Amino acid sequence: MTTTDLLAAKERELRSSRAPRSWRPAVGAPLAAVLLPVLGFLVWQILVSSGLASGRLVPPPSRILYALWQLQKTGELYHHLLATVGRVLFGFLAGAVAGILLGGVTGYFRLARRLLDPTLQALRAIPSIAWVPLFILWFGIFETSKVALIAVGVFFPVYLGVSASLSSVDRKIVEVGRIFRLSGFDLVRRILFPAILPALVVSLRTGLGLGWMFVVAAEFMGASEGLGYLLVDGQQLGKPDQIVAAILVFAILGKFSDGLLVLLTAPLTAWQDNFRREQE
Distance of alpha carbon 105 from alpha carbon 141, whole angstroms? 32
**Residue among 15, 56, 181, 276 that touches another protein (CB under 8 A):** 181
Closer by beta carbon to another protein, 18 or else 181: 181
Could you say whether residue 197 binds another protein (CB under 8 A)?
A: yes
CA atoms within 13 A on the CB side of 109: 9
Closer by beta carbon to another protein, 127 or else 267: 267
Could you say whether residue 178 binds another protein (CB under 8 A)?
A: yes
Could you say whether residue 276 binds another protein (CB under 8 A)?
A: no
Distance of alpha carbon 116 from alpha carbon 136, whole angstroms? 26
**Residue among 7, 31, 38, 173 that touches another protein (CB under 8 A):** 173
- Cα 87–chain centre separation: 15
**Residue among 180, 251, 263, 277 that touches another protein (CB under 8 A):** 180
Distance of alpha carbon 82 from alpha carbon 122, whole angstroms? 34
The Cβ of residue 43 has, within 10 Å, a number of other Cβ atoms equal to 10
Closer by beta carbon to another protein, 256 or else 271: 271
Q: What is the closest distance, in whole angstroms, from the C-beta atom of residue 176 to another protein in the complex?
A: 5
> Could you tell me which stretch among 51-59, 113-121, 139-147, 271-279 binds another protein (CB under 8 A)?
271-279
3-state secondary structure 124-141: HHCCHHHHHHHHHHHHCC
Contact 227, 185 (CB under 8 A): no
Residues contributing to the site for another protein (CB under 8 A): 172-173, 175-176, 178-181, 190-191, 194-195, 197, 271-273
